[in-house]
Amino acid sequence: MSATPPFKILTVCTGNICRSPMVERLLQQGLDLLTPGAYQVESAGTGALVGSPMEPHIAGFVRVLGATADGFAARQLTPELLNEQDLVLALTRSHRSRIVELRPSLLRKTFTLRELARILPDVQTPRGADVAERWAGVIPLALRARSMRGHDPKDDDVVDPYRHSDDVYEQMRREITPAIQVLIEWERKHTLGLRPRQH
């Protein structure tokens, strides 16, 4: 049994069958390759289609990008679920607002996915700290950086593709996957030197 519990990340969209499950599975897969067991990534919806599997387009994206869609079931966002999280990644600003309504104390732990991906590369983080220590240091700095001007707030949202055309699904993929990659690359950068070199 690990002495250190995993750092818990919750991703949140509306129905919990498109955007947030895609982030959950791809982010978990990427982080596990770097620091196995250090993160637990899950998802929920503000108006979840409870018990539903991933939408087929999304399951296809997830598989093509190297993760699994197996065993997924949508679930409803609740205050109790939010209370367990170390970081919450909303897919739009309206989801972020709903999260904070349910749990006001999470104001300081909630970002949209694209917002955090935009901010994170410019935040100075001490190399070599463990996962929880890194995030404890970086989240307050990211909150300060949030107030900086110079971008369109709409750029922090990911489009909802549900029941729309293939073009909208593709737009969603283009908005989500680079942001996930930024978080994974940030983790890669800050885990260098923590593990012995493989021979």
Q: Which residues are catalytic?
A: 13, 19, 122
How many Å apart are CA 177 and CA 10, to the nearest integer?
Answer: 17
Q: Which amino acid is at 6?
A: P
End-to-end CA distance of the chain: give it in Å, rounded: 27
Asked whether 112 and 94 are in contact (CB, 8 A), the reply is no
For the chain, how many residues are written?
A: 199
Q: Is 110 helix (H, G, I), strand (E, B) or coil?
A: strand
Helix (H), strand (E) counts: the chain: 7, 4
The token duo for 151 is 């971008």
Nearest to 58, CA basis, from 86, 93, 19: 19
Contact 11, 43 (CB under 8 A): yes
CA–CA distance, 18 with 175 (Å, rounded to integer): 13
Contact 107, 95 (CB under 8 A): no
